[in-house]
Amino acid sequence: GLNVTVPFKEQAWTQAEHRTPLAEKAGAANTLYLDADGALVADNTDGVGLVRDLTRNHGVALKGLRILVLGAGGAVRGVLGPILAEAPASLTIANRTVAKAEALAALFAGKGEVSGCGFDDVAGPFDLVINATSASLAGDLPPLPAGLFAAEGLAYDMMYAAEPTVFLRWAAEQGARSVDGLGMLIEQAAESFWLWRQVRPDTAPLREMLRREL
């Protein structure tokens, strides 16, 4: 099997002979494997990795939460299904290009209360804000208003680094708790390993090791 990273997830999706429902909905694949007949199958474990990191590693129950996702690219499309499966109260997608956010919300209509808007139209408070934009890679921050977080709100950045990202630093200034995406990276890989080997790795020691090495 293969674990695929950006910018090759869409190409991996096109190469597969079969796609799981998660990969089909995501339009991208981070995991490839051969089925019993030797056919190449595309899957997407990013959303499972994100949800598992939040729920198991950080004790965040997503059911009933008001969730804001920043960005409308492939990273977002890959995680919306598993997030919505946890039955949040609402999920808002905010993006610079409003049409992309609205189109993505329409794609997941019927899975819960899902809406799309531009950054200028974001209105909190939210219990969980997930940054899925590439802004953190460039040290930039999406144009976000104050008052975005509810009391005890959590900021989650899919990016990770030795030091908190600019988004997480901003969130801390707003009084929010913060988590980076290292756990998501590990958990999506563990889910892929399960698909390949039917063995589920113990991720806790790996999180501790990688955190020390950042």
User: What Cα–Cα distance (Å) separates residue 134 from each residue in 3, 71, 201?
Assistant: 20, 8, 29
Q: What is the CA radius of gyration of the chain?
A: 17
Q: Is 72 exposed, middle or buried (0-12, 13-18, 19+ CB in 10 A)?
A: buried
Q: Round to whole Å and give the CA distance between 193 and 179.
A: 24
Query: In the sheet that 149-157 helps form, which strands lie side by side, from edge to edge?
Result: 114-118, 90-95, 66-70, 126-131, 149-157, 177-179
- Whether the CB-CB separation of 178 and 152 falls below 8 Å is answered with no
User: What is the set of active-site residues?
Assistant: 9
User: What Cα–Cα distance (Å) separates residue 104 from each residue in 80, 161, 190?
Assistant: 9, 28, 27
- Whether the CB-CB separation of 210 and 190 falls below 8 Å is answered with no
118: Cα separation from own chain's centroid? 19
∠ Cα 153 154 157 (to 5°):
150
Q: Round to whole Å and give the CA distance between 102 and 93.
A: 8
